A = this chain, B = another copy of it.
Amino acid sequence: MPAQSRTAVPFLPILAWGRSYDRATLSSDLVAALIVTIMLIPQSLAYASLAGLPPEVGLYASIAPLLLYAVFGTSRVLAVGPVAVVSLMTATAIGEHAAAGSPEYWAVAITLAFISGAMLLLMGLLRLGFLASFLSHPVISGFITASAVLIAAGQLKVILGLKVDAHNALELIWGLLQGLGRTHLITALLGLGTVGFLFWARRGLKPLLLSLGMGARLADVAARAGPVAGIALTAWLTWFFQLHEQGVKIVGVVPQGLPPLTWPSFDLSLWKELAVPALLISVVGFVESVSVGQTLAAKRRQRIEPDRELVALGASNLGAALTGGFPVTGGFARSVVNFDAGAQTPAAGVFTAIGILLAALLLTPALYFVPQATLAATIVVAVLSLVDLGMFKRTWVYSKADFAAVMATLVFTLTMGVESGLVAGVLLSLALFLFKTSRPHIAEVGLVPGTEHFRNVLRHQVLVSPKLLSLRVDESLYFANARALEDRINEAVADRPQLQHVVLQCSAINDIDASALESLESIDHRLRQAGIALHFSEVKGPVMDRLRGTEFLAQLRGKVFLSHFQAIAELAPDLSRGAAQSARAV
C-alpha cells in the first residue's frame, strides 16, 4: 500500500497516485473501467429518462464529471455519474419549472447541476462537510426506501405502457391498479421480460457462463453485461418485428457526437426557486457518495476526506453543467463493481469516461430501437436493490424513536414528495434528539457496601442517608433540560424533611451552558433558603475550567469534590464507614 494513503492526501490527490502509476495498475484499472463502462451505458440512459431528460444527456453526464473527480477526488474507486435517487430529485425539482422533454427543461437541469456544484464547492471550501451528519441513518434509510418505491412505481407505468397522472405515491399506485386493464401487452411483455432476465442474470448468468467453460474473468465481464444484453436483445426484437408500429415506445433518434458546451441560466428568480432543491440534492448526493467512498476506502485501509469530497463533487457537477449534463454523484452499485473489478486508482474513472465518450460518438444510432420499457426495467432492478427491509425490523427492535424517524421519513416522502419527506425526516430526527436530551435520566445513587462505587438506588441494594441526597445526571446540562433538573431537585427536597446536603455527581455532564448555570444558581439559592447545601463531585476538566471564574462557584456554600466517595466521606461519614443502615428515602 503506498505510504500516502496513511498520511495526509496532497492538495491534488492525482499527484499521490499518479507518481507511482505502473503497468500492473494500468491493467487493473483498464479491466475495471471496461466492466463499469458496460454497466454505465444502460444506467446513464435510464437515469436520464428517469430525470425527464433525453437519453444522451445521461451519457454527457458520465464524461466530464468522471474526469474532474479523477483529479480532485480522495476516493480511489468512487464511480461518479447519474444515480437513481438524485435523478428522481432532479425530475421533481425541474417538473415545477418546465415540461419534461422540452429544451427549457434541459436548460433548467443544467442550471440545477451548476447551482448544486457551486454549493458543494462552497461547502467544501468552508469545511461544512460535517453538516451531512445531521442526516441520520434512519432518515437516509427511510428516504432511500421511499424513493426506490416511488421510482419503481413510476417506471412500472412505463413498463406497462400506461399513462397515469399522479402527485404522490398513493395516487400513482392507485392509478396503476385502475389502469391495469389498459396495459399495453407487447410493451409489458418486453419490460417484464427484461426485469425477469435482469434479476436472473445477477445471480444465474455467471455460474452458467462458467459451466459453459468460459474463463472466470471473462465470465465476470460478460455477467456485468446483462443489462446491455437485455437492451440489445429487446432492441433487436423491436426492429425485427417493427414493434414500434404496434405502439411500443422506443428511444428514437439520439444525437451522435461530443457533449455540447453549455452554460447555465443566470435568471435570479430561477436560482431562488432552485436553491432549496439544489441544496437537498447536494446533501443527499454527498451523503450517498461519502458513505460509499468511506466503506470502500476502509476495506483497503485508505481514507477519504469529506470536505475535499465536497470540492470534488462540486467540480464534477460544475463539469456536468458545462457539458450538457445534470446533477451527478458517486453511485453505490457502480462504485462497488469498480472496487470488486480491481480498480486501483481514479485512472479507472478516466478510462470509463473515454469509454462513454466513444459510446456517445459511435453507439447512439444503435439506440434507436431500444424500447423505453427496457430502460425502465433496468431502473426497477437497480432501485429495488436499494430497499433494505431488514433495517426496519432492526431499528424497531433497537429504538422506537429511531423507528419513528424512519417511518415518518418514509410516509412523508411517499405522500408529500422527496423534498418535503427529506426535510420532515431531518426535522423530526432532530426534534426527537432534542426531546430526549430535554428529559435527562437523573438517578439517585447510593453507596455499594464495601466499595467506593455508587449505583442507582432503583437498580441495586445500596446505602443511602436521609441527611444526604446523591444525584447523578446522565446528560449535559443545557437550556432544554435545566428546568427538569430544577424540578427534580425541588421534588426531592419537598419529600425529605431531614435533608442537609445535595451532591450532584457530574461524571456524565460534558457541558453546562449559561441557562443551566442560571438554573444551578437558582437551585443553590432555593436550597440555601431551606438550609440545605449544594455540592458537586467528579466535575470534568473542561466543565470545571469554565465554572472557575463564575460568580456561581465563588458564592457556592457547598464544595466541589474530586470523587463522589470523598464527598460522602466528608458529608456523611457514617455512611462511608458502611455503618448506616440501608435506609431508602421515603
Contacts and interface: CB of A to CB of B under 8 A. Distances in A.
Interface of A: 6-7, 130, 132-139, 294-295, 298-299, 301, 303, 306, 394-395, 397-399, 401-402, 429-430, 433-434, 436-441, 456, 459, 474-476, 478-484, 486, 490-491, 494, 507-508, 510-511, 513-515, 517-518, 522, 525-526, 529-530, 540-542, 546, 549-551
Contacts of A298: 490, 522, 525-526, 529
B130 A439 contact: yes
B549 A511 contact: no
A299 B529 contact: yes
B514 A474 contact: no
B480 A541 contact: no
Contacts of A484: 130, 133
Contacts of A440: 510
A127 to B, nearest CB: 12
A130 B441 contact: no
A130 B438 contact: yes
* This chain: copies in complex: 2
A542 B441 contact: yes
A288 to B, nearest CB: 14
A514 B399 contact: yes
Given A133-B484, A298-B529, A397-B549, A508 B508 contact: yes
A544 B6 CA distance: 34
18 contacts: A133-B484, A134-B434, A134-B479, A134-B480, A136-B479, A136-B514, A137-B482, A137-B515, A139-B479, A394-B551, A397-B549, A399-B514, A433-B480, A456-B541, A459-B541, A474-B540, A475-B510, A507-B508
Nearest to A290: B483
Contacts of A6: 494
Most chain B CB within 10 A, of A139, A294, A430, A508, is at: A508
Contacts of A542: 441, 474
Contacts of A515: 136-138, 402
Contacts of A549: 397
Given A398-B517, A522-B298, A529-B299, A482 B430 contact: no
A399 B138 contact: no
Nearest to A435: B130
A137 B303 CA distance: 42
A490 B402 CA distance: 26
A294, A402, A510, A529: residue with the most chain B Cβ atoms closer than 10 Å: A510
Given A494-B303, A522-B298, A401 B513 contact: yes
Given A514-B395, A518-B137, A434 B438 contact: no
Nearest to A406: B514
A449 B546 CA distance: 27
B133 A483 contact: yes
Given A130-B439, A133-B438, A456-B541, 7 more contacts: A130-B483, A134-B480, A136-B480, A136-B515, A301-B526, A399-B514, A434-B434
B398 A550 contact: yes
A403 to B, nearest CB: 8
A514 B138 contact: yes
Nearest to A301: B530
A286 to B, nearest CB: 12
Given A301-B529, A529-B299, A541-B456, A441 B479 contact: no
Given A507-B507, A522-B298, A398 B514 contact: yes
Nearest to A300: B529
Given A481-B133, A515-B136, A541-B456, A474 B510 contact: yes
A461 B220 CA distance: 57
A440 to B, nearest CB: 8
Contacts of A513: 136, 399, 401-402, 433
B436 A511 contact: yes
Contact of A479 (B133, B478, B522, B525): B133
Nearest to A138: B514
A456 B542 CA distance: 11
A398 B130 CA distance: 26
Given A510-B441, A514-B395, A522-B298, A303 B490 contact: yes
Contacts of A522: 295, 298
Contacts of A433: 434, 478-480, 513
Contacts of A525: 298
A437 B139 CA distance: 19
Contacts of A136: 478-480, 513-515
Sort A-B residue pairs by CB-CB distance and give the 10 closest, nearest first: A136-B479, A402-B514, A137-B515, A298-B526, A474-B510, A136-B515, A133-B483, A508-B508, A6-B494, A133-B480
